[in-house]
Amino acid sequence: LVASSQDSGSALYTIDGSPVVSLSNKPVEKAFFTPDSRKLYFTVENSLFAVAAPDWKPLSHPDGTSLFGWVGY
């Protein structure tokens, strides 16, 4: 899957460009897939959402993003 975010919204696509699901009608700010690529976490206007296989339905996490951050090497 490939995630795409533009001013007009965000979506997931298959590698050949076929749409899978619309994530938001607004741009995604931050996003990351889990290591097995079965779940995607993303933020839109500082709200945290998640989508998971097989239906990829966006679910809101009402706890917000106060502890959300990036860990890198």
The predicted model scores a pTM of 0.76
pLDDT at 3: 78
Q: Average pLDDT of each block of 10 consecutive residues along the chain (73 residues)? A: 81 89 89 90 88 91 64 55
Q: What whole-number distance in Å separates Cα of residue 24 and Cα of residue 21?
A: 9
What is the domain count for the chain?
1
Question: Which pLDDT score, from 0 to 100, does residue 70 have?
Answer: 60
Residue 35 belongs to a domain: yes
Which residue is listed with tokens 């690529």?
37
Strands (E), 17-66: 19-24, 30-33, 39-44, 47-52, 59-61
Q: Which pLDDT score, from 0 to 100, does residue 67 have?
A: 58
69 occurs within a structural domain: no
**What's the domain range around 44?**
2-61
Is residue 67 in a domain?
A: no
> Measuring CA to CA, which residue among 29, 38, 25 is closest to residue 70?
29
30 within some domain: yes
